[in-house]
Structure 1
């Protein structure tokens, strides 16, 4: 239970010394270490090993998270949902600002949050393991960011073929790939990632005949 006080202990299941912490602080410590742990070993990593790294007993771990799935949900909230700014949908649909600048502002902020090892590796491990974490995230992202972006593109497109959701995913996926290249393939990132992002956005807009000033 989250509110359950920890009992003083001189050692855990592996002899580790455990420092007594307030419940909220201990819960956050577990989540922070779980993020690092699952990014390193994948979502199949054992909670017993996570407890060993934390220097606590496995039973204490389950005082805070009744199941491993509950712990993974907490990791999901911290790494993925917690990084989505609540004002992004409003800013992306603010037609007083040219679409190009809305996209640049969004992807500059978004890339700064996701171009890191933990985000990329947990996302990839989730997909490989068949876990629901990345599917849930992509659905949420589609609902709050990408579908509104499609509507904004359609409002300005000057081509006979209207933009489709696949076009938006291609833009988004191409930008995310910059981070994948660095943290998954372990290749150097572009010298100026923001220039690559701007180039991808301009190509997307040009394809639909959208003037950068629109």
Structure 2
């Protein structure tokens, strides 16, 4: 398996926890989303443990690229963000599961083994949330109505990137990013980029 996180000490801790398992081997690591994609290209592995909040190309962007290029690779998200805020988007992008960074080592190992065998690993809380949303018993978050690409653009704009920078980061034209921005603003009923930032902070979508 591979480990992608921008904090070297945290990566070392993860490798230390996983090294004691005879059926788990860490074969590579990355410190940002771009390196995670390159790692998936270079190294054969069954599971990639991926952080969402990384510099350069973030985990969310990397997840979409990795799943598109390597559909058989199970990507397990390990993040400080609330799983409830990202669950819908992560499922759309093909994540195999989600763990918070406060997860106990035993749970981490259990999750890695589960996704490594082709299963999914979602908490009971997220499973319940998704079930009630599907049954129409509880409304989803407003941002759950965004498409995956709109959500990616939204997060980058909320972090202060310009439309030009967003286009460069996502390999999209200025016009395409502007169109996504217009649509997501309408869906979220917001006006400015500062509104996007305030919304993201309020809903736990930013560190």
Give TM-score, length-normalised by structure 1. Answer: 0.32
Whichever of the two has the greater Rg, that structure is 1
Q: Which has the higher contact order (CA 8 A, sep 6+)?
A: 1
- Identify the structure with the greater strand proportion: 2
Q: Which has the higher helix share?
A: 1
TM-score, normalised by the number of residues in structure 2: 0.33
